[in-house]
A and B are shown apart, each in its own frame.
Chain A
Amino acid sequence: MTPRMTKLLLGLSAPVLALVAAFAITSLVLLIAGDPVGGVWGEILSVPEGRNIANIVNSASVLYLSGIAVAIGFRMNLFNIGVDGQYRVAAFTAAVVAGEAWLPGYLNTVLAIVCAMAVGALWAGIAGVLRATRGVSEVISTIMLNFIATSLVAFLLRKAAVREEGSNNIGTKEIPEGSRIPSFSFGDGPGQEIYGFVVIAVLVGVLYWFLLGSTRFGFDLRATGRSTTAAVASGISVTKMVVAAMLLSGAVAGLVGMPLLFGESYTYGSTFQSGLGFAGIAIALLGRNHPVGVAIGALLFAFLNEQSNPLQILVGVSPDIVAITQGVIVLTVVVSYELVRRYGVRLEQQSVARALESERAQREEVTA
């Protein structure tokens, strides 16, 4: 087997191991609770219909952006727990800007998205600057900033909001039709429409892959994540990198709410989806911070969410069971990656030793 094949197999075995373990543990929970194990899995693992596929892809695009935002931090050993707050402040800002429609048509859209990224970056940047200058743990500060974001947005929403007709919900002004991002349909059935923003999410993934893998900046970022001390000795300014990584992570976090805002709700209101930032942490872990891995993780989480919806009606089990599955996946993923990593290191050390051994043997034959 070539080394590349071994690497690929090892890379794949970790998530597969984790998923199998997670499904086994979930089944155990179902068994203990006396729920129909077969029925639940039968429903969840059934082939989704067109409408469901659209939902899965749409919700995956949102989760993907969140996962990438977290992954940028993870690559540098920064735990940006604050994606949740960052995307909410950003989505609110974008909704206000787009709702006011200072610019015509798509210029308005672009301006709103840029504002969202800037605000997200700024919000995350607070934690970055605190970490870089005062050594404040970004875990603590981003969690705090989440609370502040929630309260701040709730407060500002009251100021900026218009009441929707015939509803108790309040929200920002609706985005004018010319500035919305159109969905595209892939079938004739009802609801088979995919957000246009999915394209942008894919683009973000490609950019992330390029930036991290092929640029000097990305190299510095990954080097700092692997060893701060070696990074310093090689001439990287770690404080600058901390701020830069947080800004970047926050900017992507700012995009998280955009597919929903420009493709579905057209307004930021009290019912805007929450908790997307935390799902991003799980997805980044599951996807090993790899652009494709995170995409698969996002699709998997979206798939589980969508497929669990009818569980209550069809088999009488709460759809929250997939929350257990998702939670367990995060744990098993961490464990199985570590196991596979250790195994891989041992394998590589052995192969290096073997290669050197045979080289030595050859030399000895020559001299003999």
Chain B
Amino acid sequence: MTSTVEGSGPTAPTGPVSVRLRGIGKRFPGVIANDDIDIDVHRGTIHAIVGENGAGKSTLMKILYGVQPPDSGTIEIDGEQVRLSSPADAIRHGVGMVFQHFMLADNLTVLENVVLGAEKLHGIGGAARAEIARISAAYGLDIHPDTLVEDLGVGARQRVEILKVLYRGARIVILDEPTAVLVPQEVEELFANLQGLKREGLSVIFISHKLDEVLSVADEITVIRRGTTVRTVSPSEVTARQLAELMVGSELPSPSTETSTVTDQVLLSVRDLTLPVPSGRPLLDAVSFDIHRGEVLGIAGVEGNGQAELVESIMGMRPAATGTVSLDGQDIGGLSVRRRREAGIGYVPEDRHRHGLLLDAPLWENRILGHQTRSPSVKGPLIDKAGARSDTQRIIEQYDVRTPGADVLARALSGGNQQKLIVGREMSGDPVLLIAAHPTRGVDVGAQAAIWDHIKAARREGLAVLLISADLDELIGLSDRIEVILRGRLVGTFDPAHVTPEQLGSAMTGAGDDTEVSA
């Protein structure tokens, strides 16, 4: 994949470059997390880095903050090539990071939190207090050194985190998904603070996947997809739709479906599925849909709009969910996860490491997982090791899982091969419904094509498939029908034969003209 760095747009910042990344690469066993990343961050600008989950943003930031060394490429800070082998190194070079999850001690004051670990700079007393007050005033952070952190709101805590890195002399501030925890007013305040930092000549690197925010605050935007830089653009020259398109990539090989195999026999029927939250907006709000035999229903939506909750409610992992779910005419609403699986639901979970595998168990034991009550893995109350082993061997061959054997620990396989094993396992035992959440996330292109083929084959054999994906091409290519989910509600139905990624993108953000929902 080639990467283009556009730095010559009409509004592109022209100041000196404070961070220059060239050809950054990072590989984990079986996974390429970063590959040939090129980014220039100019001094006194806010530079946004956007990309889907798993695109490699976090790995890149860990490299820039010295948590992990890159396998290849160079990092230049203020024109000087540096090696960052620890966060302390990074701080010494003026790079500070504000994590998504705050690292503050609640029962200490702001002063104590700020000086913790940086006692040598200004001591722990009056000088430190004065310095905090000075920074707070200079950047408009409105932080008082002697307040207890537990008395502060989320927005103020984030400002304390920012103050912490400024106190340590950061000239380059990295913010990892800073708005994820904030309410809209706090987001506004944060953006005002960021403008303050910018005015003082600091560089801000802002990681996000919320496109509207990025467009409103950033001076430059770099899009990362599948571990590599796709393009750097100026916010004035792109729309949210175009950015979304860059993020999910519309030029990828399209997983097109063959002729429709949809029947009129309803296999999964969901009515008024609601997942209430004690205080606030329900995570799922009266979701209703049907999936027929031989039909793939795609669910499109920006991450965190209720997709995970929808899947877990259908699987029976969310006891608080209300509404009815019936499978092949049978109400499964009151059944346990195990009974639902036995009734014929196959489940490819979103997070295979957390929900799909026992990483420290051999593959044949992973074959049993989720099928503990069904042959060939068990005989009555006993585990049938020979049966499980030979069936694992079958999956390894049929699904092309690259492994020396069934006794290897799941951890030793690459992401793509782990996923092929899961797909193979979930397709065993004659399921009638397959729930596939992000089935090709974080897998290599070869495995992706193989998994697409298996889903298509399942559809031909008359399975109903519920497909959740952030990859719009995958959704358009595989689905017979696409529903868009926004804030826990289904807000629009699209025919994949006629929809474009742009139309889907605008429905997903609620910003489109063709839906009734407004942001």
Q: Which residues of A contact B (CB under 8 A)?
A: 3, 213-220, 222-223, 226-227, 229-230, 232-237, 345, 348-349, 351-353, 355-356, 359
Contact = CB atoms under 8 A, between A and B. Distances in A.
A356 B370 contact: no
Given A223-B358, A348-B409, A232 B317 contact: yes
B349 A3 contact: no
A216 B365 CA distance: 11
B450 to A, nearest CB: 15
Given A216-B373, A227-B359, A235 B341 contact: yes
B338 interface: yes
Majority DSSP secondary structure for residues of A touching B: helix
B56 interface: no
B332 interface: no
A139 B440 CA distance: 40
B354 A230 contact: yes
Interface in B349-388: 349, 351, 354-361, 365, 368-370, 372-373, 378, 381-383, 385
A232 B337 CA distance: 8
Interface of B: 29-30, 315, 317, 336-341, 347, 349, 351, 354-361, 365, 368-370, 372-373, 378, 381-383, 385, 402-404, 407-409, 411-413
Given A235-B337, A235-B341, A219 B368 contact: yes
Contacts of A226: 358-361
Nearest to B371: A234
Contact of A349 (B29, B351, B372): B29
A113 B317 CA distance: 40
Nearest to B384: A214
A356 B402 contact: yes
Contacts of B370: 233-235
Nearest to B403: A352
A3 B407 CA distance: 10
B354 A236 contact: no
B508 to A, nearest CB: 26
B336 A237 contact: yes
Q: Which 3 A-B pairs have the closest CB atoms?
A: A235-B338, A234-B370, A233-B355
Contacts of B412: 345, 348-349, 351-352
A232 B356 CA distance: 10
Contact of B383 (A216, A229, A232, A359): A216
Given A227-B359, A348-B412, A219 B354 contact: no
A71 to B, nearest CB: 17
B438 to A, nearest CB: 14
A216 B387 CA distance: 14
B402 A216 contact: no
Nearest to B413: A352
15 contacts: A214-B382, A215-B381, A215-B382, A219-B365, A223-B369, A230-B354, A233-B356, A235-B339, A235-B372, A236-B338, A236-B372, A237-B336, A348-B411, A348-B412, A351-B412
B94 to A, nearest CB: 34
A127 B79 CA distance: 61
Given A234-B370, A345-B411, A219 B383 contact: yes
Contacts of A236: 337-338, 372
A222 B372 CA distance: 12
Given A3-B407, A214-B382, A227-B358, A234 B317 contact: no
A130 B175 CA distance: 41
Given A226-B360, A236-B338, A353-B29, A216 B382 contact: yes
Contacts of A216: 372-373, 378, 381-383
Contacts of A235: 336-341, 370, 372
Contacts of B347: 233
Contacts of A218: 383
A218 B361 CA distance: 14
Nearest to A237: B336
A96 B358 CA distance: 45
B372 A220 contact: yes
Given A226-B358, A229-B355, A234-B338, 17 more contacts: A215-B381, A216-B381, A226-B361, A227-B357, A230-B357, A232-B317, A233-B355, A233-B370, A234-B341, A235-B337, A235-B339, A236-B372, A345-B409, A345-B412, A349-B29, A349-B411, A356-B402
A131 to B, nearest CB: 18
A230 B369 contact: yes
A348 B409 CA distance: 8
A259 B463 CA distance: 59
A174 to B, nearest CB: 41
Contacts of B411: 345, 348-349
A31 B203 CA distance: 59
Contact of B317 (A233, A345, A348): A233
Given A226-B361, A237-B336, A217 B355 contact: no
A352 B403 CA distance: 6
A355 B30 CA distance: 13
Q: Which of A215, A235, A353 neighbours the largest number of chain B CB atoms within 10 Å of its CB?
A: A235
Contacts of B361: 222-223, 226
A224 to B, nearest CB: 10
Contacts of A217: 381
A337 to B, nearest CB: 13
A46 B485 CA distance: 74
Nearest to A217: B381
A236 B337 CA distance: 8
Contacts of A356: 402
A233 B355 CA distance: 6
A217 B380 CA distance: 11
A214 B368 CA distance: 12
A363 to B, nearest CB: 11
A11 B398 CA distance: 33
B287 to A, nearest CB: 20
A233 B381 CA distance: 20
A207 to B, nearest CB: 14
Given A216-B381, A219-B383, A230-B369, A351 B404 contact: yes
Contacts of B339: 235
Contacts of A222: 361
B114 to A, nearest CB: 32
B351 to A, nearest CB: 8
A118 B382 CA distance: 25
A355 B315 contact: no
A316 to B, nearest CB: 48
A355 B404 CA distance: 6
A349 B28 CA distance: 11
A216 to B, nearest CB: 5
Contacts of A227: 354, 357-359
Contact of B356 (A230, A349, A353): A230
Q: Which of A227, A232, A233, A348 neighbours the largest number of chain B CB atoms within 10 Å of its CB?
A: A233
Given A214-B382, A220-B372, A348-B409, A233 B315 contact: yes
A351 to B, nearest CB: 7
Nearest to A360: B402
Nearest to A348: B412
Given A223-B369, A352-B408, A233 B349 contact: yes
A257 to B, nearest CB: 30
A213 B368 CA distance: 13
Contacts of B349: 233
Contacts of B317: 232-233
A287 B36 CA distance: 47
A359 B382 CA distance: 36
A232 B347 CA distance: 12
B404 A234 contact: no
B466 to A, nearest CB: 15
Contacts of A219: 365, 368, 372, 383
A56 B370 CA distance: 44
B366 to A, nearest CB: 9
A211 to B, nearest CB: 10
B383 A215 contact: yes
A351 B340 CA distance: 38
